[in-house]
Structure 1
Amino acid sequence: MTTSKRGALITGASAGLGEAFARLLAAEGHDLMLVARRADRLQALADELSGKHGIRVLVCPLDLGQPQAAAMIEAQASAHQFTVDILINNAGLAEPVSFLNYPVEDVRAMLEVMVTGLTELCHRFGRGMVTRGWGRIINVSSLAAFAPNSPGMLYTGIKSYVLNMSQALDLQMKPAGVHVTALCPGFTWTEFHDTQGTRDWANRLPRILWQDADTVVKAGWQAVCAGESICVPGVVNKAVSSFTKHLPERLRYLVSMRARMVN
């Protein structure tokens, strides 16, 4: 764990894992820069955490689907002399319909949030971490990164990219004192399924598959501090990832084909 006060940038901070990360890092005494679209939720969280823990909290209401979002975040941090030592790339979404039925503008925004923007934030703030000789980056991937593809969905491929990119960055940056971890949670109790319109489906899944946000966040933070490049929280999730990632490619494809026929 960290032993001194640092500055943490958290995207998707207004709810779910992002909010849980904000609470955990605030309790450790770190200053925060919170990014999300919902200004009212961000400000309420900022007021609560700054008052409770005596920390500095900057609020940055921003749509990360904008092409210039990462540059705007960096400009805000610079303008407020906020040094980002900890980066939590948590913001994300999943397409509610298959690829060809999803508006191209929404496809572009999805890639901006979870691929281009995430990667650019790692680049913009990672260089400073390397120069200073200390940094922690958590990129939120998913258990889906290890799974066969879902027909017509981008989510699995995107999360696989986040997993692989995070490992590549960790290999480059760790000698300089910067740890990068891909956090790969399974089903987690957050607002994600409400915003995606899949709550009824999610509620039918066995409870043993689920974890709460605080448990996932604590596991991810412990992992990045320990220098682990991948964190799959939970015994069930570890077993699932170990099984699915070792399936032969042909079998993985057949599983995906079967899913298409069922749907």
Structure 2
Amino acid sequence: MPDPRGHALVTGASSGIGIAIAREYARRGVPLVLTARRAERLQALAAELRAQVKVHVVPADLADPAAPQALADAIAARGLPVRILVNNAGYGVPGRYLKNDWRTHAAFLQVMVGAVSELTWRLLPAIRDSGDGRILNVASFAALVPSADGQTLYAPAKAFMVRFSESLALENADAGLHATALCPGFTHSEFHDVTGTRAMMSKLPQWMWLDADDVARAGIDAVERGEVVVVPGAVYKLLRFATKHLPDRFILRRMAKNSSRIRSTE
């Protein structure tokens, strides 16, 4: 049966884990608000999912500092109550820090930190008022281990999402709100095509890769349980256990040795 209590707003819903999360919520009967830059992709996904639930499309480019308020205003103007917020929009900037100009880094931080913070702030009152609100922040396994060479701001931005989720979970438990940081490892999606690292990533063994649908289910199940940080996949659970018990200097040495296999370090 469709969920009458409110919509799930999914950012970055035009590809990868975002599509998988939207499909999983539709399967569970939750009406959707989909946003991303690529309106035509959103419309195609909406047409697919409308056989299951009501779907609304509100395109937005979260690299624009004005976008979070405009998105929240558009949702309010349509009278769409949001009970679930999925902060999924994101990407990587390959290469070392000085390879790219500051405008590139500023846009990245706006999407990964600024928009996440502001959109959550603007929608949080309604999510709290729902009585069983959910916030699912799509972070990364990279947030839980020492950073690699290349994509210098990626792991710090994802680490912010983990700490942000922890604070939100504590501050809003009184309202029945659950906040979760989803921390997947390497996941089959368009992410590495966008960053131009597909050929490099294809050299990694298959056991290191996760399926986007499995990641989506793990995240949604975790936020329903009230689990604050979730790492999908047995391999990554084991790796997290190992990294928590090994000295950082040892892991950093391994990162220095292997970064060129998984990151553009030029």
TM-score of Structure 1 vs Structure 2, range by shorter chain:
over 0.9
1:159-184 Cα distance to aligned partner (Å, 9 max, x none): 11111111111111122100000000
Q: How does 1:107-256 map to 2 (within 5 A)?
A: 107-151=105-149, 153-256=152-255
1:169-215 Cα distance to aligned partner (Å, 9 max, x none): 11111221000000000011111111111111111111011111100
Q: Which residue of 2 aligns with 1:56?
A: 54
CA contact (8 A) 1:9 1:88 kept: yes
Secondary structure, aligned partner of 1:239: helix
CA contact (8 A) 1:148 1:255 kept: no
Q: Which of structure 1's runs of 4+ aligned residues deviate more than 6 A?
A: none
Superposition deviation, residue 150 in structure 1:
1.9
Task: Show structure 1 runs of 5+ residues with no match.
Answer: none
CA contact (8 A) 2:5 2:130 kept: no
1:101-160 Cα distance to aligned partner (Å, 9 max, x none): 112111011101111111112211122222332201100000001121123511111111
Secondary structure, aligned partner of 1:10: strand
CA contact (8 A) 1:138 1:182 kept: yes
Q: Which one-letter code corresponds to 2:101 in the other structure?
A: P
Output the CA distance in 1 between the equivalents of 2:193 and 2:187.
12
1:40-69 Cα distance to aligned partner (Å, 9 max, x none): 10111112211x11x321111111101111
Q: How many residues align?
A: 260
Superposition deviation, residue 254 in structure 1:
4.3
Deviates more, 1:244-253 or 1:131-140: 244-253
Output the CA distance in 1 between the equivalents of 2:85 and 2:130.
14
Secondary structure, aligned partner of 1:238: helix
Q: Which residue of 1 aligns with 2:34?
A: 34
Superposition deviation, residue 259 in structure 1:
5.5
TM-score by length of 2: 0.92
CA contact (8 A) 2:5 2:83 kept: no
Secondary structure, aligned partner of 1:149: coil
Task: Show structure 2 runs of 5+ residues with no match.
Answer: none
Output the CA distance in 1 between the equivalents of 2:4 and 2:101.
46
Deviates more, 1:214-223 or 1:246-255: 246-255
Superposition deviation, residue 250 in structure 1:
4.0
Of the three residues 69, 76, 79, the one matched with 1:78 is 76
Q: Which residue of 2 aligns with 1:17?
A: 17
CA contact (8 A) 2:14 2:36 kept: yes
TM-score by length of 1: 0.93
Q: Which one-letter code corresponds to 2:190 in the other structure?
A: E
Secondary structure, aligned partner of 2:82: coil
